[in-house]
Chain A
Amino acid sequence: MSPRHAKHLLSIDDLTADDIHHLLELTDHMVEINHRPIPKVPALRGKNVVSLFFEDSTRTRTSFDTAAKRLSADTMNFAVSSSSVNKGESLRDTIETISAMGVDAFVIRHKSSGVPGLITRWTDASIVNAGDGWHQHPTQALLDCYTIRTRLNRRDGFDGLRIAIVGDIKHSRVARSDVQAFAALGAHVTLVAPPTLLPPALHDWPVAVSHDLDSLLPDLDVLYLLRVQRERMDDALLPSMHEYSAMYGLTAARAARLAPHALVMHPGPMNRGVEIVVDPADLPGSAILDQVTNGVAVRMAVLFSLLGTGGDLRSETLS
């Protein structure tokens, strides 16, 4: 499917490499808009974009909100905790009720995998997955791709690029999305984690697996760190955060072994002292704030591709 004609963005799995390239090129236009003195265009004027966050998130919600406003969409925000929905109104009733007010797109964050796809049954609006359970976070993967593409000057793809994703892969929607996107663009992806933090079956994933971060460091182009949560110790997945940090954390010693051009990335929020022991401000290769900045432009591109006219991108809607 072509994202320009797709109705929803649920998973990177639904996109071809060409689709991803197309969205990244569209993001270039959005970056240009964001650099204008008045970073706002009328592209989505009259469109109603509703953010429904059933799980707390500051950065993703704000990023989508900013993106929609820069395209002149009307925006509504509902911060719905799952528990309040459980007590009363069902998910289906919530969606049908808000849809009845006239909605062009829902931006959905939910702690349960698969919810954005379920919601497509109950509304005619476009659905943008802003993170569902352990499953997918497609705009994170797109902004990560855009960041790598820009910082490493890889407009034509990631062929030959060596990317390590380190941390709690098993519970990570970011990892699932990034693996698919990076591999689609041609990168060589290695997952680095203790076996307890890997998904149970990886044989059909386009990745290599390692438990030895140190041996990989000098050859990496991108070191992608994931957040590791303390609750993982309760399920006997990790002995201690200290041990995790010692084996898999980015220490100053490890940072020193990275190639000069290598990027350090993190989807945030960071667990300082756990997966990242150095101050990222001290890392020349840190792309962590670029990721946040690019998030707005990527989400503008996604919203425009789903809700825009789909015509010439240089038409007046973007000018």
Chain B
Amino acid sequence: MTPPAAGRVVISGGTLLDQAGERAGDVAIEDGYIVEVGTGLTGGQLLDATGCVVSPGFVDLHVHLREPGKEEAETIETGSRGAALGGFTAVVAMPNTDPAQDSVAVVQFVRAQGERAGLCEVLPSGCITVGRAGERLAPFGELAAAGVRIFTDDGNGVQDAQLMRRALEYAGPLGITLAQHCETASLTKGAVMHEGSCCSRLGLPGWPALAEELMLFRDIELVRITGVPMHFLHLSTARSVALVRAAKAEGLAITAEATPHHFSLTDEELSGYDAVFKVNPPLRTPADIAAIKAGLADGTIDAIATDHAPHAPHTKEVPLDQAPSGMLGLETALGVCLAELDMSLVDIVAALSWKPAAIAGVADRHGRPIAVGEPANLTVFDRNVEWTVKPEQLASKSRNTPYVGRRLRGKVRHTVFNGIPVVVDGTATR
């Protein structure tokens, strides 16, 4: 962990929002911890929160930081900066790096790079299988001992049902969570976009909703027989939401996330063949968006995660079928959520903060109530300000945001990580 700041920081004039609801108040921070909550607090560095909400820092269960291996698209430092600007104090780094995060050495490197940047806590995930190849189990025990809590082959679904069953059984006593990228590969060969009327018109191979739902169903049944918890990444279809809702009603130990792009953009965005809109799983239909929003509103979907996936510009300026999948998300997440979701602010922040913190196994230090003695990982945001996305103003090394020119509502003003103001007045301080 980054050494906490010694100096005193006061967040003044905002509305505090956490698990206990909303109330006015100032927050004083010293040595990385909240030391006072009250009114009229002074001393040290003042962060003006007038008209803003002060909440626990956001936790993103799903980011691709590209380091090691694709530093031309993003580094842990640039990705962390984007995270801090987006109000995130912790991010789970997906393991599809090169080399993949299937060994203690790579995982420690990722964590160390995160500490060096000092902008947010970078939580390396581990692979489920060696090299994400879907053949042999990654060393869960060694990686868990090195602090890894989330394991996934994200980018690939684990195709082999027997292997997935063994992975869950083996993971059980280690107290880790396996997270699935649900995609039945035999149904998505060459797929570019959602299978439906849009792909039929555009002449592009479709990625059917069924490919996600089939693996989700299989894994829900594996959770049932093994009793080992699972997390489901970036669910994108109405039927997926229904499957998770039914499984949770039965008491199965599963959690799920959805991305802002899957509840704000449809497959019609692909009509211009712009690869910025190519993402996996693909953008789907208005009915799917409605179902995901309903799933977030009723808690079926626990967390909002960005699946932040930077790609260098030249790799996206190619025919759609040759382009890599993925879009930026960290710096636009809050603005999309507040513009799109018809939910109470506390429920939105729950899905961005303490609920994902629990899934990531960092609920001891992120997503905490705003109270004396708690670690100072906090986000201060203006819930009403409208702004237009300009790719050149993003901190990411890449520019593949699908929200170019779009009006979003809500923007982060300050972010405090471990007691340090890493974002002040919308600008990163390091």
Task: Please list the residues of chain A having a beta carbon within 8 angstroms of any beta carbon in chain B.
Answer: 86, 90-92, 110, 112-115, 117-118, 132-136, 173, 176, 199-205, 235
Contact = CB atoms under 8 A, between A and B. Distances in A.
B196 interface: yes
B278 to A, nearest CB: 11
A115 B206 contact: no
Contacts of A117: 272-273
A202 B273 contact: no
Interface string B300-322: 00000000000000100111111
Contact of B202 (A118, A135, A235): A135
A113 B320 contact: yes
B200 A113 contact: no
A167 to B, nearest CB: 15
B153 interface: no
B331 interface: no
Given A112-B320, A114-B202, A201 B273 contact: no
Interface in B61-115: none
A66 to B, nearest CB: 27
A200 B202 contact: no
A113 B197 contact: no
B180 to A, nearest CB: 25
13 contacts: A113-B321, A117-B272, A117-B273, A118-B317, A134-B203, A134-B204, A135-B202, A135-B204, A200-B199, A200-B206, A201-B196, A201-B200, A202-B200
Nearest to B198: A201
A90 B314 CA distance: 8
A194 B95 CA distance: 42
A199 B201 CA distance: 8
Contacts of B322: 86, 112
B157 to A, nearest CB: 20
Interface residues of B, number: 22
Q: Which of A90, A132, A176, A200 has the most CB of B within 10 A?
A: A200
Interface string B171-207: 0000000000000000001000001110111111010
B208 interface: yes
B319 to A, nearest CB: 3
Secondary structure at the A interface, as helix, strand, loop or mixed, is: loop
A108 to B, nearest CB: 11
Nearest to A198: B200
Contact of B203 (A90, A118, A176, A205): A176
Contacts of B314: 90, 92
Contacts, number: 69
Nearest to A176: B203
B200 A115 contact: no
Contacts of A110: 319
Given A112-B322, A114-B273, A200-B195, A92 B203 contact: no
A133 B318 contact: no
B197 A92 contact: no
Interface in B314-360: 314, 317-322
Nearest to A172: B203
Report the 4 A-B pairs with minimum CB-CB distance, sorted nearest first.
A114-B273, A112-B319, A134-B203, A135-B203
A130 B263 CA distance: 37
Nearest to B322: A112
B273 A200 contact: no
Interface in B264-284: 272-274
A91 B319 contact: yes
B197 A114 contact: no
A235 to B, nearest CB: 8
B196 A114 contact: no
Contacts of A173: 203
Contact of B201 (A90, A91, A115, A176): A176
Nearest to B274: A118
Given A114-B272, A133-B203, A201-B199, 19 more contacts: A90-B314, A90-B318, A91-B319, A112-B320, A113-B202, A113-B320, A115-B319, A117-B272, A118-B274, A133-B321, A134-B203, A135-B204, A136-B203, A199-B199, A200-B199, A200-B208, A201-B195, A204-B197, A235-B189
A114 B200 contact: no
Nearest to A92: B317
Contacts of B196: 200-201
Contacts of A134: 203-204
Contacts of A112: 319-322
A202 B272 CA distance: 20
A136 B200 CA distance: 12
Contacts of A201: 195-197, 199-200
A129 to B, nearest CB: 12
A200 B200 contact: yes
A110 B322 CA distance: 12
Nearest to A90: B314
Contact of B197 (A90, A91, A136, A203): A203
A108 B206 CA distance: 24
Contacts of A203: 197
B283 to A, nearest CB: 15
Interface string B192-232: 00011101111110101000000000000000000000000
A44 B204 CA distance: 35
A305 to B, nearest CB: 23
Q: Which of B189, B197, B201, B318 has the most CB of A within 10 A?
A: B201
Nearest to A169: B200
B241 to A, nearest CB: 21
A178 B53 CA distance: 57
Contacts of B317: 90-92, 118
Nearest to B319: A112
Contacts of A199: 199-201
